[in-house]
């Protein structure tokens, strides 16, 4: 298991989702339970009678349906990244400083469902950052749904290094499951929640970014600390998706972050998406998690924006930061966890800046 533990400041967040084109709009809608799940504009399925009917999902309404692939991801990611950097008031990187971009994207070739968009997307966002804050190093996590949480762990490790640490990290994730190629793959594998099925994916999309830095750096800059990142853990699960999974890897991750969970009923936020195999894995893991007790609050962004894939970890972290900062979270700390089809299992603990102990 790979892990990090310490305390870092979250000083910026940015979001583009089907329920909002900024962090304030998206978080207000998520808090209110507003859903954008409806008929997708560009994809239909065939019902039991052989008749075409629209597929349900959630998409960002301002992006034309024919804008798919890298262009769609770039539009969402760039807007969310710019918002996070503006909120953090990140200064231009001096010659003696190092900034890092840590980006979570879909896996390079998950069963052939998409093209490997990650490298080109990271290069584009890196060029945007050159204009905004100066040169940055790039770290790409092409590990699917849990990739943004993995990127957060790697960023924390880089910030905490004793030798040549980075000074500021921009961490995010972006994905779209409403692309025709992805929807076709999910349908062919029986994973869409269509017809009378009670389980399966309601596809969504989005982008989320956070700015994290050392608390002393944020204090010196005079910026507001929105929340604190306390610990991260990650493990690889080799069980193929859909096969019986007894949650050994996810359990190990939960036990890795448990020492930092001090509240009796922390808020849980996850990327559960309505698929039965993932629910069963959570059932096994939760029964062994030291911090879990029945009836704990468990928020799911997929209920409002569908499954946002590799963006979900970043979206959920931004939701936690907003809820903790605004005081409507039912606890002063949140456990955010995610699981990729490709095997990555990740979890982080974020605490209220006022309530962290």
Reply yes or no on whether the pLDDT at 178 is more than 50: yes
- CB environment 276-306: b (16+ within 10 A), e (fewer): ebbeebbeebbeebebbeeebeebbbbebbb
Q: Which among 272, 318, 296 is positioned nearest to 28, based on CA atoms? A: 318
10 Å CB burial of residue 257 (0-12, 13-18, 19+) is buried
Q: Confidence class of residue 294 from pLDDT cuts 50, 70 and 90?
A: confident
Reply yes or no on whether the pLDDT at 110 is more than 70: no
- The alpha-carbon radius of gyration of the chain (Å, integer) is 19
Q: What is the pLDDT of residues 3-42, one digit of tens each?
A: 999 999 999 999 999 999 999 999 999 999 999 999 998 7
* pLDDT for res 29: 98
Q: What is the DSSP string of 61-73?
A: TTS-TT--THHHH
% of residues, the chain, pLDDT over 70 = 96
Torsion sign, CA atoms 271, 272, 278, 279? positive
Q: How far apart are CA 37 and CA 115, in angstroms?
A: 25
How many CB atoms are located within 10 Å of the residue 140 CB?
A: 18
Q: Which CATH superfamily is domain 227-352 in?
A: Thiolase/Chalcone synthase (3.40.47.10)
Q: Confidence class of residue 250 from pLDDT cuts 50, 70 and 90?
A: very high
* pLDDT for res 54: 83
Bridge partners (DSSP) listed for residue 12 = 211
Q: Which among 122, 170, 152 is positioned nearest to 13, based on CA atoms? A: 170
Reply yes or no on whether the pLDDT at 69 is more than 90: no
Pairing relationship of beta strands 267-270 and 298-300 according to DSSP bridges:
parallel
The number of helix segments (H) and strand segments (E) in the chain equals 10, 12
List, by residue range, all CATH 3.40.47.10 domains of the chain.
12-221, 227-352
Fold classification of 12-221 is Peroxisomal Thiolase; Chain A, domain 1 (3.40.47)
* pLDDT for res 279: 95
Q: What is the DSSP string of 209-238?
A: EEEEEEHHHHHHHT----EEEEEEEEEE--
Taking the model in full, what pTM does it have? 0.95
Token reading at 196: 């009378």
* pLDDT for res 140: 94
């Amino acid at each position: 298991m790979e892990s990090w533990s310490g305390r870092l400041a979250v000083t910026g967040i940015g979001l583009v989702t089907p329920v909002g084109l900024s962090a304030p709009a998206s978080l207000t809608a998520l808090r209110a339970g507003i859903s954008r799940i409806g008929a997708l504009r560009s994809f239909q399925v065939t019902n039991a009678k052989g008749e075409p009917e629209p597929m349900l999902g959630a998409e960002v309404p301002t992006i034309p349906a024919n804008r798919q692939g890298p262009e769609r991801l770039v539009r969402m990611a760039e807007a969310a990244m710019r918002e996070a950097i503006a909120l953090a008031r990140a200064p231009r990187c001096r010659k003696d400083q190092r900034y890092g971009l840590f980006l979570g994207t879909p896996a390079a070739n998950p069963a052939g469902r998409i093209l490997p968009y990650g490298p080109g997307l990271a290069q584009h966002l890196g060029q945007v950052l050159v204009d905004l804050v100066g040169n940055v190093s790039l770290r790409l996590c092409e590990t699917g749904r849990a990739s943004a949480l993995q990127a957060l762990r790697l960023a924390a490790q880089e910030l905490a290094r004793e030798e040549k640490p980075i000074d500021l990290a921009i961490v995010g994730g972006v994905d779209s499951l409403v692309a025709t190629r992805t929807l076709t793959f999910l349908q062919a594998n029986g994973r869409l929640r269509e017809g009378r099925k009670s389980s399966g994916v309601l596809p969504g999309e989005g982008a989320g970014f956070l700015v994290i830095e050392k608390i002393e750096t944020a204090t010196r800059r005079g910026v507001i600390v929105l929340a604190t990142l306390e610990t991260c853990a990650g493990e690889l699960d080799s069980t193929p998706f859909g096969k019986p999974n007894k949650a050994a890897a996810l359990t190990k991750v939960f036990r890795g972050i448990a020492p930092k969970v001090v509240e009796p009923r922390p808020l849980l936020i996850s990327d559960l998406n309505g698929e039965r195999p993932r629910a069963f894995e959570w059932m096994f893991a939760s029964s062994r998690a030291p911090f879990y007790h029945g009836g704990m609050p468990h928020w799911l962004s997929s209920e409002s924006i569908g499954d946002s894939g590799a963006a979900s970890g970043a979206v959920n972290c931004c939701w936690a930061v907003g809820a903790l900062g605004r005081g409507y979270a039912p606890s002063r700390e949140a456990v955010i966890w995610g699981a990729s089809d490709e095997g990555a299992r990740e979890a982080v603990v974020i605490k209220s800046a006022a309530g962290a102990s």
